[in-house]
Structure 1
Amino acid sequence: MTLPDPGALRGVYCRQAARWDRERPKRLRIERPWIDRLVAGLSPGAAVLDLGCGSGAPIAAELARRGFALTGVDFAAPMLRIARRNVPGARLILADMRTIDLGRRFDAVLAWDSCFHLPRRDQAAMFPVFARHMAPGARLLLTTGPAAGEVGGLVGGEPVYHASLDPAHYRRLMAASGLMPLQFRRNDPQTDFRTVWLAEMLASAVQSG
């Protein structure tokens, strides 16, 4: 089976932005328990970074509604144009998550259904990116695949690439970046069988870095 080209992903999301937003539920459903865990203990005004924010609904919009200072990053300009309507108070940045360096640390970082579109080598390289944007004690929410491999999927009827590392590999990458896994659910039926990670940035890792 021929896999979709990872380099074609931006074009797919640009072409499918309007349909994606139209078909995406606008209220948190399967994501809510994990978003609650991500921001548990944070006060309104805490800084949250959403990597691969897409059209901003429902996740970024819900975080903004709760009073968090939301920064969203996405590489598809049409998605961000829609996100500006869905999350008017957010700071939205057109950029590739693999190359960002925003020069600040956040109280929570998430990459829900975004990082798993990257080739495996690029996914591994994301962990230092996560770490340099996380304050001591900040939490990371991440969806991955359940096992090492590459598969194809569909967005608006167009093929898209997905990849995953082995869970043990993700754990090693987290440890190397100062992240401690708090929760891990492989093929979680409560999230339509996503594999979900929640990790926390160790204060000692930030201080030594």
Structure 2
Amino acid sequence: MPNKSSYNKIIDNWIKARNSAIVNKPVIDFADYINSKGTIFDIGCGTGLPIAKYLSDCDFSITGIDQSVKMIETAKSAGIQNSVFQTCDFFDFETDQKFNGIIAWDSLFHFPKERQSEIYSKVYHLLAPGDYFLFTHGKEEDEHTDSMFGEQFYYSCLSKDYVLDLMKELGFEIIYSVENFVEEKDQRDWVVLARKK
């Protein structure tokens, strides 16, 4: 997959884009659901801005991972309080900690299609009972490459119905499921907030 090296190459453009990006309302809702001083795991945290910074400012402790060395270097230098950032593949991430919140905002679609179904059981295992998982996703099963800032990126996803069935089977309760989410200039095919029963 080209994504790791592609993100390293576009880091300067990415910083410009993300440093001025809004914190989307679902992220704010997610933070409101979690008890104060909770722990949050950010899958594909990028540079930490604006999401990890916002969550840190809400008094949460953040663990952020990303495959891009340049993204993690930038996140570490951003001065975000109560945060730990590491270069890591999600499937290689191991901890005994159970998080109060897990967020995957614009990251799951970079995972290999053949491993997409593994995501949800791992997230379920990493979450504390009664706590929350927020993610963005495509609606239709898909696998393709596309360009961003002149570099190629890989994307994939499973169908919305398959993911919902899988999550319910694991023991997730769907708090909300929003298709065609739009806020200012931002658009997402599908936004889901789920809770581990």
TM-score strictly above 0.5: yes
Q: Which residue in 2 is equivalent to 1:61? A: 53
Q: Answer yes or no: is the 8 Å Cα contact 1:98–1:122 preserved in 2.
A: no
SS in 2 for 1:55: coil
Letter in 1 for 2:195: E
Q: Could you tell me whether the CA contact under 8 Å between 1:71 and 1:92 is conserved in 2? A: yes
Partner of 1:11: 5
Distance in structure 2 (CA, Å) of the matches to 1:193 and 1:145: 8
Q: Which amino acid aligns with 2:148?
A: V
Partner of 1:39: 31
Superposition pairs of residues 84-163 of structure 1, within 5 angstroms: 84-89=76-81, 90-163=83-156
Deviation at residue 71 of structure 1 after TM alignment:
0.8
Aligned pairs (5 A) from 1:198-209: 198-202=193-197
In the alignment, the residues of structure 2 paired with residue 53 and residue 124 of structure 1 have an alpha-carbon distance, to the nearest angstrom, of 21
Residue 70 (structure 2) aligns with: 78
Aligned partner of 1:50 in structure 2 is: 42
Listed as ranges, the matches of 1:187-198 within 5 Å are: 187-190=180-183, 191-198=186-193
Counterpart of 2:84, as a letter, is R
- Give, in whole Å, the separation in 2 of the partners of 1:162 and 1:83: 23
Once the two structures are superposed, what CA deviation does each residue of 1:9-38 show, in whole Å capped at 9, x if it has no partner?
111111222221122244534x2x101221
Structure 1 residue ranges (4+ consecutive) displaced by more than 3 angstroms after TM superposition: none
CA distance in 2 between counterparts of 1:37 and 1:187 reads 17
SS in 1 for 2:117: helix
**Greater strand share, structure number:** 2
In the alignment, the residues of structure 2 paired with residue 11 and residue 170 of structure 1 have an alpha-carbon distance, to the nearest angstrom, of 29
Q: 1:73-96 CA deviation, whole Å, 9 max, x = no partner? A: 111111011001224331112110
1:167-182 matches, cutoff 5 A: 167-182=160-175
What is the number of residues matched between the two proteins?
A: 194
User: Could you state the TM-score of these two structures normalised by the residue count of structure 2?
Assistant: 0.91
The partner residue of 2:18 within 14, 24, 36 is 24
Q: CA RMSD in A?
A: 1.6
